[in-house]
Structure 1
Amino acid sequence: MSSIEDLDLSFTNLNGANDWLEVVSSLPNLKTLDMSACNLSLMSLSSFSQFSHSKSFTPLESLQLRNNEINDIPKFFGDICTLRELDLSGNNLNGQLIEHINDLFGCAKDSLEVFVLASNQLWGSLPDFALFPSLKEIYLLSNKLNGTMPKTIGNLHNLEHLNVSLNYLQDVISEAHFSNLSKLLSLDLSGNSLTLEFDFNWVPPFQLEELRLRSCKLGPRFPNWIRTQWNVTTLDISNAEISDTVPAECYLRFMDLGNNRFSEKIPPWIAEDLPQLIVLILRSNKFSGSIPWETCKLKYLRILDLSLNDFSGIIPQCLNNLTAMAYKAYSSTNLFEGGCMGSHGLNYMYIGDYVDSAMVALKGREYKFGKNLGLLKIINLSSNKLTGKLPTEITSLLELVVLNVSKNNLIGKIPQTIGQLKQLESFDMSRNRFLGEIPSSMSELQFLSRLDLSFNNLSGKIPSGTQLQGFDATCFTGNRALYGPPLTQKCPGEETPNQSLSTDNGSTEDDEDNRDEFKKWFYVGAGIGFAVGFWGICSSLILKRSWRHAYFLLLDNMKDWLYVAMAVNKEVAEIATEGDTFNLDAAHVYMSVRTRL
């Protein structure tokens, strides 16, 4: 064991172990020690210091302590004079970054080449890394750094990879920050509030292979200095406030120009000058015109996102030439094969970042795929003005995982061969003018977990006995002639007995409803008529005196007439009924009295 140079103890729980230090210290030739995800804390490392000056650690060059529970950098790390690589990413480091850097001010600062503190809770400004003259790679992404970026970082002559993305840095970046970085290969400043202000004719001293400036302010003109980077294979300048034309870059494999203000048409040279392109993201711009057929030449393309633009015309039928979406890729396949990734290859996370943001556009919510992110095959043409049919040829892209053509003006039927897309997990063709029946082959899409066919002109019965019944009814709404579960509208001839009885008695129920309705409105009308008549008469009597006097005089006369008539009737009745026979004279008297009255 004394000859061991590389020791990997990662994913071994060493929190309760007592003899691991003795084992490690007994390896005099140890150069690389990996104790990542070993449940280590600062206390468990405290006894490590007694061995740091021993011969055992004289040749130690690489110390990897990723994903533990360390909340501070042990000061004895700075005394390991041969240390070239230190990785403390994914721990519990917090506080100001400069305070932790001070713990390394020993002989290690002269030998350290790779410094990784990603995914911690560090804040403050970037320190003066010029005190570490041998640094080649700096990874400080995913922290809470909220200060500025010192110009002295431009004095790191050996720096090759710089990643400070996903922080809260606020600064204006100029040529001075990169004045002597002639060996720089990758630069990632994404996700900060940085403004890049360079002289228009400035030519950098480096040739980058990866450049990521997402959410940095670069516009409105396309930065001329980027045109000088002939070796760039990965370019992400999305959400950078650029409203210029798209430049030609020969060796790009990852191009994200999303969330800018690029206009006019997609230049046809993209396919001719970028034959190795794997990811093309032009979403949320102002591109117009038709989708150039030259796009079909990008046979390595795996992610195509043209959503949220003003594209018109038909979808090219030649999309079946995107052969990378037709054949299975393996997990070992490198999306950026040939590009420089640095010793920590952190590109993987950017595919993940893209997919998350793309899923918001696709679904309106976050969505996780069950596959390796590097294996995703996506076509997103949503929110444009595309017309014509969905090409049948697109169903030959057998490894397609996401297909979104929603919010266009597409017509025709869903291709009957849609069932060939066995790997499809998300299919959105909502808000178009598709017609006809849903193909029964769609039941063969076993991985389908997100479907939206709403607001089209689809008709017929939804294929039953499939996973389509497991989707919410809102996935099918807006198709008037579509019926069957999960929609509540039943198929013709499938009414239940109760529903049939209800149909037979429908006329009777309608008559009863009509009568009830008539009664209701009769009483309402009578009440309104009484109120109008009553108050009409009363208001006339109140407002007009002559009518009021005549009215009351009429009432007095009627009262007198009734009184006299009743008295006379009584007397006549008594006279006429005297004796056993009717008195004719009394009858005449009665009639004469009535006449006078």
Structure 2
Amino acid sequence: MKIKGNLTDEANRLSSWVGKDCCTWKGVGCSNKTGHVVKLDLQNPNFKMNKLRGQISPSLLDLNHLHYLDLSWNDIQISNSLGSLKSLRYLDLSCSFLTATIPHHLGNLSRLQYLNLSNNDLRGPIPDTLGRLTSLTVLDLSRNNFNDSMLYSVCNLSSLVHIDLSDTRHTGAIPHCLGNLASLSILRLNSNYLQGPIPSEMGHLTQLTELDLSYNAFEGKIPNSMRNLCNLRVLDLSNNKFTGKLSTSVGSPFGCIHNSLEDLSLFSNKLSGGLPNHLGEFKNLVRLIIGWNSFYGPLPSSLGRLSYLRVLDTGDNQLNGSIPVSLGQLSKLEYLDLSHNSFVGTVFELHFAKLNSLYELYLHSNSLVLNVTSQWVPPFQLQVIQLASIKVGPQFPQWLKTQKNVTELDMSNASISVLIPDWFESIYCSIIHLNLSNNQIKGKVPIFQKCKYRYSAYDKWLLLSSNRFEGPLTPLPSHVYFLDLSNNSLSGPITVSDDTAMMSLTFLVLSNNHLTGVIPVSLCSAKQISLIDFSNNQLSGKIPPCLGQLDQLSVLDLTNNSLYGEIPSSLGSLQFLNSLHLRNNKFYGKLPLSLHNLTDLFTIDLGENVFTDNIPPWIGYNLTNLQFLNLQSNHFYGDIPPQLCHLQNLQLLNLAQNNISGNIPRCFGNFTAMVALDSEYIFNPTDNYFVGGTYYGENILDSMKGRELEYTKTLKFLISMDLSNNGIVGEIPEELMDLSGLLNLNLSGNHLKGRIPNNIGNLTQLESLDLSQNKLSGPIPPSLSSLSYLGHLNMSFNNLSGRIPTGNQLQTLDDPSIYIGNDDGLCGAPLNSCLDDKSSDGDHKHVDESKVADETDFLWFYTGIGPGFLVGFLGVCGTLNFKESWRHAYFQFIENNYNWISVTIAIKFAQLRRKFNKGKFGR
């Protein structure tokens, strides 16, 4: 009664606790011999509701004959003196909101056989005192937060039959001593941070029936000793890093594991090799899950002998060859996944002959042809049909008529090129996810009847993109959650269903069609809408201000239309907006101040419009998550606000073709995301929109390497700054050279002066550099030659001078036009040779800087000795043979033309040396 008095019992669960005979009360058990209370079972049967709350009374400790105590699924604070209940054999405190550590005094319960502390918030380490519970047979500490590397505390509990330490944040390796627990039948260590190999001693656990090591970081090979676990029914090693071949471990023909195993899961490891034909000997196998590995070769036909098999998953491997017809004999098979392999050949009716239990079929992403007759009636009723990227067409498969329970149908990229048949509407109502995209389906978009759904309308997907649908767009259905009709030939206005009150539309993609008219105001009734993509159409009119009421909107893409007007200030209410694309329209005016509220924006693309405004400083102050900013080809004017330097996540800055003046802010060196290409990519929420097997991604046009490129899946690698064709003055800031991750730097068409920074070679990832049409002067820094990835360079129309650097990637950029217009101040390849490179015969040779230096030394050497040699030689000859008058005339000629003669002789010697070094002379 004291226990009851301390508890809050809102559901009146202890209503029977009245009178003097406590042995008749619900949850109380007494010994038939002594009458002592030996059992107290207050487990909450309702789990989430009707919890008992409060502090357990210390009088509990007076029940010193108590054998059984269950307080699970309640909110009861437990006394720290439970260790005084010396007779306790069964203790269940699971789901009891326990925190802190496991009480050390539990080690005093020497008779305890069952201990369950699972589903709490207990934290580590596991106390050594638990090692004293030598009578313990069941230990369940799962789903806690021990964060402990010590599993040794359980090694001394030789009576253990069941250990569950799953999802406890344990780290480290499996101790070898676990192999000594000879009585162990169930061992669950899944969902932790364990690593290292499986100890071979685990093969000593001959009583083991279930071993779950999934979702850890184990590595190495699966020990051969595992094949000797003759009682093992469940083996789950999925989501680890195991390597090696299956044929040498659990798939080996040796050992006895194949006689007992019922469930084998090796999903998502690094296993390789062929699948052993011996898998057909696992006669009791019910589940075989080996997807997401690197297995190759054919699928063993012996799998057709696994008469109990219900689940077969070999997806995402490198298996090849044809699919064995023997699989059609698996009459109990419910789930078949052969997707994402390299299977070839034809799939016939025989492959499904006896699959009358099948309800999920995944054949997608193989080189298969589904060839069944139009009269074929399958033996199954499928719920999931995944046939994407295999040849199903050109006809719409007739056998689908027989399928009444389909909830997911994917026949995208399946070579279908006919109209959707009328009969398909009868099975459409049951389909939750329908994907027919990337085919050649003709005709008009079908008007599907309203359905009475067994499932929530919020799950309905209708993906018909990249087909040949034409004609007017049918009214947008109110019952569809995700609608994608992009990349078709639809025309006419966008209309919305009359039933807007029930509108569940959340993702709407109509891009790349021929739609005309205005954005319908009725679309504002779709209060749940998160993504609107109307890009690449012919829409006109203004943005309806009521779009600002769509407070769940994350993406608004209106690129490449004929929309006009000012941006409604109401868009500043879209607090979850991540991505705003208005590129290539006719929008004008200023950017509304209300946009400063859009602090979640990752992308702003307003390029190719008629905006006339200063670049607002609040972009830098408020939109600190911004990664992509494109204001290209507008009428923005004034200085670049230094507040933009707060955008540390910025990867793309495009202000080209505006009327911007002033200097480039030195603080642009603060763009952290531009510092290193391999730096951590800032996660973009719009990456996570899953659309029919792919992610909806941002798309940005940016000029690089002299041409405009579209970036979609590669957008995270786009790191670019384009300030070209403005009125920017001053010098190129040295700080820009700190942006070592830049792929593109375009400062052309401005009024920049001064020298190119000497450390431009720090831009190690640079692929495109355009500094043309400025007033830059001085030499081109030699460090430019260290840019290994440079594929596009333009230095033309400046006042540059000196020798053009050579070597490395610059050797491939041999178009003279990239240096023209520098008033003959530049020399060297690919322009005219510099003066000291010219030969006497007028040839201009291209040499690198080291050779130039060598030959300069060579030239001065012979400039010194050449005339001396000639004078000495001719002097001796003249003394012996010449008349005195001739000698005087000769030496007068030498004196008057000394310099010319010296240089000419030296050049000749240099030419001879080059020819010799190039092997142009024989011996």
Q: TM-score range by the shorter chain?
A: 0.7 to 0.9
Give the superposition deviation at 1:481: 1.2
Q: Secondary structure at the match of 1:499?
A: coil
8 Å CA contact 2:794–2:818 kept in 1: the answer is yes
Q: Are 1:305 and 2:651 counterparts?
A: no
Q: Which sits farther off after the overlay, 25-34 or 319-328? A: 25-34
From 134, 137, 145, give the equivalent of 2:490. Answer: 145
Give the superposition deviation at 1:117: 1.4
Q: Are 1:172 and 2:518 counterparts?
A: yes
Equivalences for 1:215-254 in 2 at 5 Å? 215-247=560-592, 248=595, 249-254=598-603
Q: Secondary structure at the match of 1:94?
A: coil
CA distance in 2, matches of 1:154, 1:197: 24
From 56, 67, 72, give the equivalent of 2:413. Answer: 67
1:552 is matched with none
Q: Which amino acid aligns with 2:387?
A: M
CA distance in 1, matches of 2:428, 2:344: 22
Gaps of 5+ in 2: 1-308, 312-333, 362-382, 844-896, 898-923
- 1:417-441 Cα offsets, whole Å, 9 max, x none, are 2112221111111111112222222
CA distance in 1, matches of 2:353, 2:759: 65
1:35 is matched with 387
Q: Secondary structure at the match of 2:836?
A: coil
CA distance in 2, matches of 1:237, 1:105: 35
1:114 is matched with 461
Q: Which amino acid aligns with 1:434?
A: L
Q: Which amino acid aligns with 1:499?
A: G
Equivalences for 1:255-334 in 2 at 5 Å? 255-329=604-678, 333=681
2:166 is matched with none
- 1:338-383 Cα offsets, whole Å, 9 max, x none, are 78735559775542xx23xx22xx5553458999332110101000
Equivalences for 1:446-461 in 2 at 5 Å? 446-461=788-803
CA distance in 2, matches of 1:90, 1:284: 34
More helix by share: 1
The verdict on how the C-alpha distance between 1:187 and 1:384 changes in structure 2, with shifts beyond 3 A counting, is: same
Q: Which sits farther off after the overlay, 69-78 or 89-98? A: 69-78
1:126 is matched with 473
CA distance in 2, matches of 1:491, 1:238: 47
Q: Are 1:159 and 2:505 counterparts?
A: yes
1:496 is matched with 839
From 808, 824, 834, give the equivalent of 1:466. Answer: 808
1:533 is matched with none
CA distance in 1, matches of 2:544, 2:715: 38
CA distance in 1, matches of 2:812, 2:770: 16
The verdict on how the C-alpha distance between 1:466 and 1:334 changes in structure 2, with shifts beyond 3 A counting, is: closer
Q: Which amino acid aligns with 2:651?
A: R
Give the superposition deviation at 1:311: 0.8
- 1:227-266 Cα offsets, whole Å, 9 max, x none, are 3322211111223322221122332111111122222311
The verdict on how the C-alpha distance between 1:246 and 1:287 changes in structure 2, with shifts beyond 3 A counting, is: same
**TM-score normalised per structure 1:** 0.73
Q: Are 1:475 and 2:818 counterparts?
A: yes
Tell which structure's C-alpha radius of gyration is larger: 1
8 Å CA contact 2:705–2:791 kept in 1: the answer is no
Q: Which sits farther off after the overlay, 65-74 or 464-473? A: 65-74
Give the superposition deviation at 1:493: 2.4
Q: Which amino acid aligns with 2:465?
A: A
The verdict on how the C-alpha distance between 1:455 and 1:6 changes in structure 2, with shifts beyond 3 A counting, is: farther
Q: Secondary structure at the match of 1:294?
A: helix
% of aligned pairs identical?
A: 30
Q: Secondary structure at the match of 1:145?
A: strand
8 Å CA contact 1:15–1:38 kept in 2: the answer is no
Give the superposition deviation at 1:108: 8.4
8 Å CA contact 2:430–2:454 kept in 1: the answer is no
8 Å CA contact 2:763–2:787 kept in 1: the answer is yes
The verdict on how the C-alpha distance between 1:398 and 1:205 changes in structure 2, with shifts beyond 3 A counting, is: closer
Give the superposition deviation at 1:442: 1.5
Give the superposition deviation at 1:69: 1.3
Give the superposition deviation at 1:78: 4.6
Give the superposition deviation at 1:8: 6.0
1:49 is matched with 400
8 Å CA contact 1:260–1:285 kept in 2: the answer is yes
Q: Which sits farther off after the overlay, 459-468 or 71-80? A: 71-80
How many aligned positions are there? 481
CA distance in 1, matches of 2:692, 2:424: 24
- Bigger relative contact order (CA 8 A; separation at least 6): 1
Q: Which sits farther off after the overlay, 455-464 or 308-317? A: 455-464
8 Å CA contact 1:10–1:37 kept in 2: the answer is no
- 1:111-152 Cα offsets, whole Å, 9 max, x none, are 67111111222211111343xx43101111121112221232
Q: Are 1:420 and 2:762 counterparts?
A: yes
1:85 is matched with 433
Give the superposition deviation at 1:62: 2.4
1:554 is matched with none
- 1:171-192 Cα offsets, whole Å, 9 max, x none, are 12332243x2111111111221
8 Å CA contact 2:551–2:576 kept in 1: the answer is no
CA distance in 2, matches of 1:424, 1:473: 21
Q: Which sits farther off after the overlay, 235-244 or 318-327? A: 235-244
CA distance in 2, matches of 1:24, 1:244: 65
The verdict on how the C-alpha distance between 1:25 and 1:97 changes in structure 2, with shifts beyond 3 A counting, is: farther
Q: Secondary structure at the match of 2:668?
A: helix
Give the superposition deviation at 1:219: 3.2
Q: Secondary structure at the match of 2:769?
A: strand
2:894 is matched with none
Q: Secondary structure at the match of 1:96?
A: coil
Q: Which amino acid aligns with 2:820?
A: T
Q: Secondary structure at the match of 1:411?
A: strand
8 Å CA contact 2:360–2:384 kept in 1: the answer is no
CA distance in 1, matches of 2:715, 2:580: 19
8 Å CA contact 1:152–1:177 kept in 2: the answer is no
1:524 is matched with none
2:314 is matched with none
1:535 is matched with none
Q: Secondary structure at the match of 2:347?
A: coil
1:563 is matched with none
Q: Secondary structure at the match of 2:643?
A: helix
From 787, 808, 819, give the equivalent of 1:445. Answer: 787
From 376, 385, 397, give the equivalent of 2:739. Answer: 397
Q: Secondary structure at the match of 1:434?
A: strand
- 1:46-91 Cα offsets, whole Å, 9 max, x none, are 26436524xxxx3x43222333311234644752653211112222
Q: Which sits farther off after the overlay, 17-26 or 322-331? A: 17-26
CA distance in 1, matches of 2:649, 2:356: 50
Q: Which amino acid aligns with 2:359?
A: P
8 Å CA contact 1:165–1:192 kept in 2: the answer is yes
The verdict on how the C-alpha distance between 1:465 and 1:368 changes in structure 2, with shifts beyond 3 A counting, is: farther
CA RMSD of aligned residues (A): 3.2
From 346, 371, 377, give the equivalent of 1:16. Answer: 346
Q: Which sits farther off after the overlay, 114-123 or 375-384? A: 114-123
8 Å CA contact 1:34–1:63 kept in 2: the answer is yes
CA distance in 1, matches of 2:587, 2:712: 35
Equivalences for 1:368-379 in 2 at 5 Å? 372-379=714-721
Gaps of 5+ in 1: 505-597
CA distance in 1, matches of 2:343, 2:412: 13
Q: Which amino acid aligns with 1:212?
A: D
The verdict on how the C-alpha distance between 1:329 and 1:140 changes in structure 2, with shifts beyond 3 A counting, is: farther
